[in-house]
Structure 1
Amino acid sequence: MVLGNRGRGVSSALFGPLARLLVRLKVSPDVVTFAGTLAVIAASLTLLPTAHLTVGALVLGVFVLTDSIDGIMARLVHGEEPRPYGEFLDSTLDRFSDGAIFAGLTLYFVGHTTGSTQTWGVATAVACLALGGLVSYARAKAQALGVVAKVGIAERADRLIVALAATLLVGLGLPVLVLVVALALLAAASLVTVGQRMVLVRRALVDGRTA
């Protein structure tokens, strides 16, 4: 996950000691990336479909917060020089993590809701999964064309925070409709983000301007 300077500073302060310990133990940043992804997939596909929403949201929230440890480790080992494979691996495995979370929510709606709640819940969760992938694809394709397309109202961190916060609230006793509405808004925001990136790329490549 790409962090701004302030976010990177906070992350380093919180997780720097653990990252330094792992580096001293000769643990590879790529191993940490794989391990974190597997943990998210396991938690998403066991806790969410079985309606353990509170525990699931909290566990996944911890994994989201610690997602930057591999990046801190890479900087400790390699400095600030680019690590193309590490960035590729992190971005690719993020898609697995995101897919598992929204797949877990889809399975929750299938197994624990009925009627229109189930229909809309499944539809919005699947839409979030598909559109979240499009958001990431738009950025990656723009980067391949030499355009930095980080704009948008629904970055990956935003999407996960909204989804997990709504999941936690429902787990604590609020109506399932809260989660359905949150996912619907999230899907709409993801669609807007794709549009924003399309406009940015057009300005850069067709009109010769940047945002």
Structure 2
Amino acid sequence: MLNRLRGAMQRVLTPLATALLRAGVSPDAVTITGTLAVVVTALWAFPTGHLFAGALVIGLFALTDSLDGVMARQSGRSGPWGAFLDSTLDRFGDGAIFAGLVVWFVGGGDDHLTAVLALACLVLGSIVPYARARAEGLGMTASGGIAERADRLLVALLAAGAVGLGAPTVVLTVVLGLLALASAVTVVQRMAKVHRQAVAVTE
């Protein structure tokens, strides 16, 4: 879902990417700045109960996350380092988003079930990309599944924003529960995919 939006955003961001490159800004600087903005916003806005503002700002940066990639392709700097940096810093952003929700619902939000589900999303959300990275390190593939990162973030941010605008907290509780379940299923799907490949190699 969010991946398709990013495809459209890449075309919109091309003029901005060109302008930044002309100004001497590097793709890595954009990656790092975007991550810092997401982390700071998530760890300030969510723990203080500003769910809508936090979701809005983070969603904006999520949609423009492909800006560094557009810049790298334009400047001929696409390569493994940029991909590694982007994927690594994504983990900081994801962690901050769900950690911020955990802090809010443990404290001022006063909803421990929602906090537990946000924590589950945080943990399982880190296992999903690890399964893929570990598989690729072993020469296999483990992409796909029902809960890709972009979709998980979009759904979580929409639910958080809705609660921030006055929707009942149960909306976010249900969404986080479904996301945690979908993440768990995705981990199992990726494990099964790797298992099939491993069995095929030994046959």
TM-score, length-scaled by structure 1: 0.90
Task: Look up the match of 1:51.
Answer: 49
Superposed CA deviations along residues 78-109 of structure 1, whole A, max 9, x for unmatched, are 16xx5111111100000000000001101110
The answer as to 2:174 corresponding to 1:181 is yes
Tell me, which stretches of 5 or more residues in structure 2 are unaligned? Answer: none
The change in CA–CA distance for 1:201 and 1:7 in structure 2 (over 3 A counts) is farther
Task: Look up the match of 2:157.
Answer: 164
Shift of residue 197 of structure 1? Answer: 0.5
CA distance in 2, matches of 1:58, 1:147: 37
Shift of residue 29 of structure 1? Answer: 0.6
Residue 112 of structure 1 is aligned with which of 108, 111, 136?
A: 108
Tell me, which stretches of 5 or more residues in structure 1 are unaligned? Answer: none
Shift of residue 5 of structure 1? Answer: 9.6
CA distance in 1, matches of 2:11, 2:136: 30
Task: Look up the match of 1:42.
Answer: 40
Shift of residue 65 of structure 1? Answer: 0.3
TM-score, length-scaled by structure 2: 0.93
Partner-residue secondary structure (3-state), 2:65: helix
The change in CA–CA distance for 1:58 and 1:9 in structure 2 (over 3 A counts) is closer
Task: Look up the match of 2:185.
Answer: 192
Task: Look up the match of 1:124.
Answer: 117
Shift of residue 207 of structure 1? Answer: 2.5
Q: Report sequence identity in percent.
A: 56
Task: Look up the match of 2:75.
Answer: 77
- The 5 A counterparts of 1:137-148 are 137-148=130-141
Residue 101 of structure 1 is aligned with which of 88, 97, 111?
A: 97
CA contact (8 A) 2:49 2:109 kept: no
Task: Look up the match of 1:13.
Answer: 11
CA contact (8 A) 2:6 2:63 kept: no
Task: Look up the match of 2:195.
Answer: 202
